[in-house]
Chain A
Amino acid sequence: EDKVVQSPLSLVVHEGDTVTLNCSYEVTNFRSLLWYKQEKKAPTFLFMLTSSGIEKKSGRLSSILDKKELFSILNITATQTGDSAVYLCAVDQTGANNLFFGTGTRLTVIP
């Protein structure tokens, strides 16, 4: 059965800390892995990863994919209170019509 598992489920850190969020997957015909940030409303897109070992970076956020070990990590450095959100991981499959979503990691950044 195809699945996407995120860990930890929740995380509380202080401003300035660095955090690593994990996403492991077991899906057939993997095409890409996507990260989204969800604050109060709709998820907003962060990264799409298709190739192993190539880091995607945007400001303090970065992500990398390991297709051999079937996981991805999302790093956030120098966290700020505005980083508080649920971070969702989703996997896209070739030949499928849907993305499989994990349950998300809830990050809380304390001032």
Chain B
Amino acid sequence: EPEVTQTPSHQVTQMGQEVILRCVPISNHLYFYWYRQILGQKVEFLVSFYNNEISEKSEIFDDRFSVERPDGSNFTLKIRSTKLEDSAMYFCASSGDGYQPQHFGDGTRLSIL
């Protein structure tokens, strides 16, 4: 069964540095999402992406965050000037259309030191 893959599984970065989290959605999917889960808390929506542009973003997704689909297969989340509070599990998800369930990757654990 096709799946969403995320790399790396764990990323450790110094505060203030930039980090890029990578995702390869399921190949025929058109809708892409990033979610965040701080340890012990609920999963929170960050951003949705369709047709090469952001469809919706939450208040968490401030101007330090950006997303890109550079080559038609990868979907990346970049965080500039990282803060301690960015430490969390980041999940990428994709769906074939807006009516289909979202399939999640295994997540990237981001640790900011």
Is chain B found bound to chain A in the same assembly? no
- Give me the interface of A with B, judged by CB distance under 8 Å: none
